[in-house]
Every structure is written in C-alpha cells, then in structure tokens.
Amino acid sequence: MRRRFVWFSLLAALTVGGLVQAFPGSGGKNLVPSLGDTYQQITHQVFWYVQKKYVEPERAEPRGMLEGALQALETQYPEVLVEIDGERATVRVDEVSQTFDLKRSDRFSAAAELLNEVLGFVQAQLGDEVDKKDLFYFALNGALDNLDPHSNVFSPKHFKEFMIGTRGSFGGIGFVFGIRDGDMTIITPIDGTPAARGGLRSGDRILYIDGEPSINMAVDMAANKMRGEPGTQVTLTLAREGWPEPKAITFTREVIHVDSVESHVLDGPDQAPVLYAKVKNFQKDTTQELTKAVQAAEKGQTPVRGIILDLRNNPGGLLEQAIALSEGFLDEGTIVATRGPEADANSRSEARADTPISTLPLIVLINQGSASASEIVSGAVKPTRALLVGQKTFGKGSVQKLFPLTDSGALKLTVAQYLTPGDISIQSIGIQPDILVYPARVEEGRVRLGLPPDHMKEADLDHAFTEWGNSSGKPQAELQFFQPGKEDEGEGEGDAQRSFAELSAEEKRQRIAEDFEVRFSRQVFAALEPGAASRQALMNAAQAVLETVRGEENARIRDALKGFGVQWDDAVSSAGAALQVLAAQEVRLPGGETTGVTLQVTNTGATTAHRVWGRTESDNPWLNNLDFVFGTVAPGETRSWTHPVEVPKSAQDRWDTFTLHLRAAGLAEAGEGSGSAHTVAVAKPEFAYRYRMTDENTAEPAHSGDGVLAVGERVRLELAVHNRGAATSQTAEANIRGDEKEELYLEEARHKLEGLAAGQSAAAPMVFRLVKATEEGDVVVGVSVADRDYSAFFGDSLKFRLGQPYSAEATRFPPQFGFPEALPLRTVADRLVVQVVVTDDQSVADFYAYLGDDKVHYARNSQAPAALPVTFEVPLEMGSNRLVLSARDNQHLSATRTYLIFRDAVQAAVAGQKP
C-alpha cells in the first residue's frame, strides 16, 4: 500500500493552484438525509458529487477511491494495516481484522457504503484513540487524493479559513504578524487600520491578547482571538524596544481589507515613470484594486510609460477575477474556455470592447510559482497584448468548484479543464515566457550557471493530469543576468533579514527597482516608439534592448568568474573536444561540517573546449544540483573546481552516488562522470523528561495541593529535561501549550536549556491556569523539547481528568531501538531482514515500519514486557531506500528512527552503520 499524507493536501489547496468557483446550488447536500449519522452522509455526498461532477468520469473509479481511503487510514493510524488480495481487502486494527468484499465497490453508492462500514470497524476498534471527524476527513481526503492533486474536502474550520482567503476581508485590527525568535511579533501594520492609527510598529512583541499570554499560542489561534465582529474591542499588551515596561492598548475592531494588489510608481532621473503592480492572489476585489492603482498612476504629474504586472509566485484564486482582470486589458478574443463533462462546466469567456483598465504597454512577469488564475491571465494577454518575461509557469490547467457538505464543511472538486486562447491546454506544461530570464550567481566556491533547478511543478504532483496538455513553443529569446552575492550588494545584516512587508514605501520602491526583471522591463518601455503599445512593438523594443543587456551581463559574469581563476570566453563552439570527469572514489561528508568536494575535467580531444561547466544529479540532497565550473580547457589540460558542501548536524548516515553532467559552448551534452559519497552522521542529543505537578487554588485555599485539578486552579508543572543522547545540546528549548479550545492560560510556557550535556538533566519550570476542561472532562497539556540544530524533537501530550486525582510525578521516556546486527548503508541484496529490539522504561506497546510510502510491518506487544523483539523482511529497490521505524509505549510516547539503505548493482564491499 502507498503511504499518503492526505491531510496536508489541505495546505496545498490553500497555497498551490487555487482556481476556484463559488458554491453551486445545494446539489447533493440533502442527497442522503436518512443515511446514518452526519459523517456517513458526508461520505455519500462526496462520492455522489464525484460521480456527477468530476472532470474525467473514466478516471473517477469508485474502487480506486475506496483504496485511496484505505491507504490514508493505514498512513494516519499506526494500528491499521490493510492488505488487498484481488477482490478482498483485509483491514487489521491491532489484533483484530475484518475482511471486506471489494466487488461491492463497483458503484459509487455501494463504495461509499462500504467505506462507511470500514470506518465504523476502525472506529470501534480504536475507540477513544480516534476523533470521528478526523477519521472520516482523513479517509475522504485519501479517496480524493487518488483522483488528482487539487480535489479535497475541508472540515468546517479549514473551510472558514479558506473562504477568508478568497474574500480578502474580515473584522480585526489590521496588521501582519508572525513568530520571530519565539515571540509573537508584529511584522507590519496595514495602512488606514486601527493598528496603524494606534501607533503599532514593526517589531512590537505581543505579550497578551485580552489578558491571555501569547507564549506558545498557535498563530491561527491568535488570529482568531484578534479577529471578531466590527465594533467589538480587543486589548493587546505590547513590548517595544525602548519602553520601560509593556503597555496595554485597546482597539476597536473594523472591517479589514487585505489587499491582493500592491502597486508603486517607479521613476528616476533618466527614465520615464512606470507602474509596477504586484498581484499576490486573485480574490473578490483584485480587478477593482488594480483598476484604482492604474487610474491613480495615470493621473500623476508625469504620465507613466507602461505597466509591469508582476504575477511571480501568484498561486491563483478566483476564476471570475482572472477573467475580469484579463478583459480589462483586451477588447476582443478569447480569454479562457473551460471544458468538462457537465453542461455547466463548459464555457467560453470573450473580451468585449468596453472601457479598459489601461491601454498602456504591458509587460507581465511570471515564474515557476505562477499558477492557475495567474496562468489564465498570462495566457490571455500573451497573444496580442503583452510581453511575458521570466520563467515557465507552474502548469495547472484545471478548475475546481466548491460543494457544500452537511456539517458546514466543503468539497473542492475538479470539474473542468481550462484552455487558453486557441484552445491550448497548459496542464502539466506551463506557459513559456517570451523572454526567458534567469540569474547567474558567482560567490566563493558557489556558482549557479544555466537555468535554475526546477521547483515542484504541476507535472511532479501525484495523479496530475498529464495527458491534457497540448501547449508547445519556445521562448523568443533567452537572457542570463549576473546576480551579486549579498557581500557584493553591501547589505547590512539587519537589512538582509528584513522581509518585504517590513520595509517603508520608499524602501519597497528601491528594492523593486533593483529587481533585474523590473529593470529590464523599464528598459524595454524606454526603447518603445512613442505611442506604441502592441505586443509586436514590445517584442521589437525587447530585441533592441537584449543585445546590449546580454553583453553587459555576460561581461559581469565573465569578470566574476575571472576572480576565481576561470576563463569564460565568448567562443561559441567546442566541437572536437572530448571531456572526461575525474572524481574521488568516495567523498566523505561529515555531518555538521562544510567539506570541499573537488571534481576534475580533462580534455582528451584535439580542440579547446570553451565555457565548460557541469551540474550534479544525486538522491543525496547535499550533492544534488551543484554547479562545477571549469571554463576553457585546452587539449590535454585538466582543470578542477571545488564546491563547498555544507551538511547539517541533523544529517543521517547514508551512501549515495552522484553524476556530473557536463555542458560546453556549442554542446548541450559534453559528457558525464560519476562518483559516490558517504554522509557520516554525528552523535545527536535525544530527549526525555520527568515532571512534578502541584495545584494551587486561590478561590478555595483548602483545595490547594490536593492532587485534584479544578477549573480556575493555577498549576505548576516542573519539568526535568534529560538528554539521553550522545551529544551536548546547545540550543534545546522546552515548551508547553494548550490546544485550540482555549483550555489553558499559559503563564510560563517556554524555557531555554543551553548546554545540556549528554546524560545530564536540567529544570524547566512551567506554570498555567486551568480555564476549562475538554468536553470529555480532560485537561490536556502539550509538552515538547527540541534542538533545532540537530532537528532533535520530542513531543508529548499529558492528559488528566478533571476532578480526579492526578499523578503528581511521572517519568516520560519514549522507547529506544537496539539492533543485534547493524543495518547496512549499502547492499547488493534485493531483500533485507531487519532485526530490532524495542525497549522502554515501562512497557512497549507496539511497533510499525514504513519502507518509502508503504507500511511494511506492524506488531502489537500483547505480553506488555519492557522489551519487544521484532523481525521482518523488506524488498529493496535499486538506489536509495528509506526505512522508517516507529514504536510506542504504554504511555502513548512514540519514537521514530529513519535509515537510508542503498541497493547497488555492483558487487562491492558493504559498509556498515551503527544504529
């Protein structure tokens, strides 16, 4: 079975590729009012909508959806193991199993009913260990994950957050905030809001929200506390550098509008002003905001010469706004067409000859982060109206629609594909810019030449629609520019750390004006014939500018490389050269260190090779996509380049191969060579703790210290954090927190543990007040200890029952792993027998293992001793195999270890590893 983290698809839905249409009619909302409880109805609703509305009926197989749901259950719940054998699925939960007949999943309604039966069985076995809502939403997201990357269900809470993002307004105070150095910090106030009028500043720390400490409060929980109905009040207690003590300031909430467009008029002594407009996403007022920005710029004292529309890293948003914005720049032609199986999914939007947003020349900036709605705009204006500058876009060509669910959640379902003018699908392909622009960086030992490595794109997503795309074509021109390193830019350390949102308006204009693609666009505008605004006129002007700019940038790159002893001449051909790569037999990469990796190239041919460089390819993230630069290599000459490889302290033992792919002037492929590397893990800290807890009841002093928790009591939780690892932790931090139900009032909830040596313990006193218990009458306290340098983390959840005696002291030590035989780093075997002994200070509960995405073993410790020996066998694929071992004890504490095992086809000595 494949392992899928379906819950996190919600995050992707909010950030990558939202092209969403609003709710249709009630449809299937009241489809099954008499079928079981709310969540069983939701299962039927989701399957019904997929059957009736999904973009590709032949892709939407009820059996496949059911299997996706089973995969999600197996991933999310350790006790669940699913085995599918033909037409039978055996679902095992702990020691109990039940077999289900998959023949019943041939129809959508039957598959929904069968899934409800499976979920009922799993819920009955897990009991209090599972939240029913989470169980159903995990399973349904797994079912949808088997369809495509963009269909998913939102719980009511997540749907509310999603809709705020599309509305662009809410009741609140008006500032951007985040966590800085562990403190809740104001990033920037929004102009014209209570926050700005109240004098809030970037860098102010929020200590209390309506008297509740913000320490360790989740950002979304804090946002919900500060949002509210307009006219209501909220009090923030703030600390500011220079204030002798914190101040409490009360604000009256107003409707806060979050702009999706940020614009600036850029001018200078030698250039006519232009309007720069950054569209961050497409929400309900985007077109209106852009129109106002254009109108204001055109009414300025000096007429603007053109518009730079920046859609870089714009993930999408509302389809209707993408259409409206496009029409504002067009007076004829198709903007976008949608095509789907249902009549209401088929449409064609045409531009009208009405009042435009502007007739000024238009340049659109795009990159790999431009997706969905931003691709629609780019595709619509490209044929006749605009010049596109940047890099190829993300490639999302599908449309999602929202459907209501019984519990006020929602289904986001792919219902159509969209086509750019000419009925062109950019799905999994993207839109090519007219001028492909990318940077070259030359720093001490670190060089980036050629196109940047691809980020995650639509075609890389599981179950992406890869068969629709028919887009083709290449950029009209290519331009590489020199991008200075930070030491060359003269930026101070403080400036380098400041985000764009923290800058003043003038600082923002300055940073924007320094952006190369913006500078290039302004040069194109300057080269335009007076009054010209067509796409062809922009192309002609760009061609005139390109030769000059390309020469300037090549000279800057050449001069920078010369400083590192590399000759980067202008020769266009390396024909007749023969290049060989020489690499060390095995590179050793110690964790926590920077190692220079040296590769050599020899020219065994009869002619000189020019502009020789190469890029590595490897499963090892520290060795992948490194550029090695050799420059001019004469016949018989050997040249070398050393690239620093910084390996973090958190790195694991692993053995990998890498390949250097060479390029040279006039040769797209100039040869390649391979090497190997052993990443050597360093000793790491590992955490456990003990606690002592006492209660203080100020209302009824007689009940103080009685060992029974009551609402309103102040609780001291004294942690003794123990480092049971093999390395000193210099940056460990202990935290406690409540959940989103505001059950705890945290007074002291964070404690730094500097220099915690191996085998030593340190005190971390915590204090909280009990506001209320959960609906079940529990008091839940989250505890975590982490060292960021080593990525060492231990998370725990303490649960006490209100009104009942609690354990005043306890030891919280998670399980540990021991190995009779060390697991290999490298093997030629196609199968691996894993032997592991799990031990605990009390009792081991269970053990489970994943190989890559597949759960390969689960074992329950029915005897409940302090040790659980486990033996199981796993198949190995060629290359790197990721084995994850997890165990839990009787206190629900878990431990996880990850191992990387390389299966090699070469009969070679096998390196061992100490677990």
Instruction: Output the CA–CA distances (angstroms, integers) from residue 819 to 110, 702, 914, in the order listed.
Output: 47, 53, 9
Reported as a pLDDT band with limits 50, 70 and 90, residue 180 is: confident
Quickly count: other Cβ atoms within 10 Å of residue 497's Cβ: 10
The whole-number pLDDT of residue 720 equals 97
Average pLDDT over residues 498-517: 87
Reported as a pLDDT band with limits 50, 70 and 90, residue 3 is: very low
Reported as a pLDDT band with limits 50, 70 and 90, residue 222 is: confident
Q: Please tell me the distance from the alpha carbon of residue 876 to that of residue 907, in angstroms, as a whole number.
A: 16
The whole-number pLDDT of residue 35 equals 56
Reported as a pLDDT band with limits 50, 70 and 90, residue 489 is: very low
* Contact of 781 with 745, CB cutoff 8 Å: no
Average pLDDT over residues 653-673: 92
Transcribe 327-374 into DSSP letters. HTT-SSSEEEEEE-SSGGG-EEEE--SS--S--S-EEEEE-TT--THH
Average pLDDT over residues 242-268: 89
Q: Please tell me the distance from the alpha carbon of residue 13 to that of residue 18, in angstroms, as a whole number.
A: 6
Average pLDDT over residues 52-64: 94
Q: Please tell me the distance from the alpha carbon of residue 685 to that of residue 724, in angstroms, as a whole number.
A: 7
Evaluate if residue 257 carries a pLDDT over 70.
yes
- Among 132, 144, 126, smallest CA distance to 36 is for 132
The whole-number pLDDT of residue 907 equals 52
Reported as a pLDDT band with limits 50, 70 and 90, residue 646 is: very high
Counting residues of the chain whose pLDDT is more than 90, the rounded percentage is 71
Instruction: Output the CA–CA distances (angstroms, integers) from residue 771 to 218, 714, 743, 744, 806, in the order listed.
Output: 17, 9, 5, 5, 17
Evaluate if residue 312 carries a pLDDT over 70.
yes
The whole-number pLDDT of residue 495 equals 47
Evaluate if residue 12 carries a pLDDT over 60.
no
Evaluate if residue 462 carries a pLDDT over 60.
yes
pTM of the model: 0.87
Evaluate if residue 585 carries a pLDDT over 80.
no
User: pLDDT tens digit string along 695-741?
Assistant: 999 889 999 999 999 999 999 999 999 999 999 999 899 999 887 66
User: pLDDT tens digit string along 511-549?
Assistant: 999 999 999 999 999 999 888 999 999 999 999 999 999
Reported as a pLDDT band with limits 50, 70 and 90, residue 467 is: very high
User: pLDDT tens digit string along 794-825?
Assistant: 999 999 999 999 999 999 999 999 999 999 99
The whole-number pLDDT of residue 581 equals 94
Query: With the CA atoms of 701, 702, 705 and 706 taken in that order, what torsion angle do they form, in degrees rounded to the nearest 10?
Result: -140
User: pLDDT tens digit string along 869-913?
Assistant: 999 999 999 999 999 999 999 998 999 999 999 999 875 444 444
User: pLDDT tens digit string along 273-288?
Assistant: 999 999 999 998 999 9
Average pLDDT over residues 299-321: 91
Evaluate if residue 27 carries a pLDDT over 70.
no
- Among 359, 365, 376, smallest CA distance to 282 is for 376
Query: Which has more confidence, 3 or 463?
Result: 463
Which of the 8 DSSP states describes residue 458?
A: G
Average pLDDT over residues 836-858: 93
Angle at 206 between CA 204 and CA 212, to 5 degrees: 165
Evaluate if residue 30 carries a pLDDT over 60.
no
Reported as a pLDDT band with limits 50, 70 and 90, residue 464 is: very high
Reported as a pLDDT band with limits 50, 70 and 90, residue 221 is: confident
Ranked by mean pLDDT, the top range of 13-17, 745-749, 808-812 is: 808-812
Q: Which helix (H) or strand (E) holds 293?
A: helix 286-298
Q: What is the mean pLDDT of the chain?
A: 89
Exposure class string for 726-737: b at 16+ Cβ within 10 A, else e: ebbbebbbbbbb
Counting residues of the chain whose pLDDT is more than 70, the rounded percentage is 93
The whole-number pLDDT of residue 22 equals 58
The whole-number pLDDT of residue 20 equals 67
Q: Three-state DSSP class for 707?
A: coil
> Tokens standing for 554?
């090549």
Evaluate if residue 34 carries a pLDDT over 80.
no
Tracing tokens 């004006």 back to the chain, one arrives at: 513
Average pLDDT over residues 350-359: 92
Reported as a pLDDT band with limits 50, 70 and 90, residue 793 is: very high
Tell me phi and psi for residue 896, to 5 degrees. Answer: -135, 140
Average pLDDT over residues 20-44: 66
Tracing tokens 């001028």 back to the chain, one arrives at: 435
Exposed / middle / buried, residue 137 (Cβ in 10 Å: 0-12, 13-18, 19+): buried
